[in-house]
Amino acid sequence: MFIILETPRLILRRFTDTDADASLIYDLNNDSEVLKYLHEPILQDVANAKEILRDIILPQYAFNFGRWATHLKINNQFIGWCGLKHRPELNEIDLGYRFKKAAWGKGYATEASAATLEYGFEILQIKTITGRAHIDNLASISVLKKIGMKYIGESIIDDCPVKTFEAYNHSLKSQ
């Protein structure tokens, strides 16, 4: 297992090409409430999950970024993912997270995201990390605020009204 980081309650690791067979991504993306503020279709079958893994998630690891599978330390249960994604079309590194409903409201997103920011700055030496959430996605906005990201403003991205936040690597001289 390629572990990226650990927090008091969580382990973040790289997905592998066998995770789609285990249906982890399918289970996560097969819930309309999880996708409520994300313009993504509900997955129809495990084949779609395999495509997401192969075409979107795994290629990011070539650049050391990635959405990392997140497990509870206490029982190794998969609860979702958190991590960084290079978005060249926006010229930014995006912080993202998505957890199964059963894991909401326990502070896991905040814990995973704070550790991800630290990893991005200290290990990957990223200068600026961006976080975006639909204007009505109050839980996600709350997470971005709680981890200390700075509110930049509201805009329309991919036809969605979003709030944008940024965090800066103060150990690097220029932004």
- Report how far residue 47's alpha carbon sits from residue 30's, in angstroms, rounded to the nearest whole number: 12
Minimum distance, C-beta of residue 120 to ligand COA, in the bound complex (Å)? 17
Half-sphere exposure of 36 (CA within 13 A, CB side): 11
| Interface with ligand COA: number of residues (CB under 6 A) | 20
Q: Which of 9, 48, 104, 118 binds ligand COA (CB under 6 A)?
A: 104
Q: Which of 53, 126, 133, 167 binds ligand COA (CB under 6 A)?
A: 133
Q: How many Å is the Cα radius of gyration of the chain?
A: 15
Binding range to ligand COA, per CB under 6 A, among 2-10, 12-20, 108-116, 151-159: 108-116
Minimum distance, C-beta of residue 61 to ligand COA, in the bound complex (Å)? 21
Task: Identify residue 157 by its one-letter amino acid code.
Answer: I
- Report how far residue 54's alpha carbon sits from residue 38's, in angstroms, rounded to the nearest whole number: 20
Q: Which of 167, 86, 92, 99 is nearest to 139 (CA)?
A: 99
Q: Which of 109, 115, 126, 167 binds ligand COA (CB under 6 A)?
A: 109
**Burial (CB count within 10 angstroms: exposed 0-12, middle 13-18, buried 19+), residue 112:** buried
Binding range to ligand COA, per CB under 6 A, among 12-20, 62-70, 116-124, 134-142: 134-142
Binding range to ligand COA, per CB under 6 A, among 15-23, 83-91, 137-145, 153-161: 137-145
Is residue 106 near ligand COA by the rule CB under 6 A?
yes
- Report how far residue 101's alpha carbon sits from residue 86's, in angstroms, rounded to the nearest whole number: 26
C-beta closer to ligand COA: residue 17 or 96: 96
DSSP-assigned letters across all residues of 58-96: HHHGGGT-EEEEEEETTT--EEEEEEEEEETTTTEEEEE
Is residue 137 near ligand COA by the rule CB under 6 A?
yes
The footprint of ligand COA (CB under 6 A) covers: 34, 37-38, 97-99, 104-110, 133, 137-140, 142-143
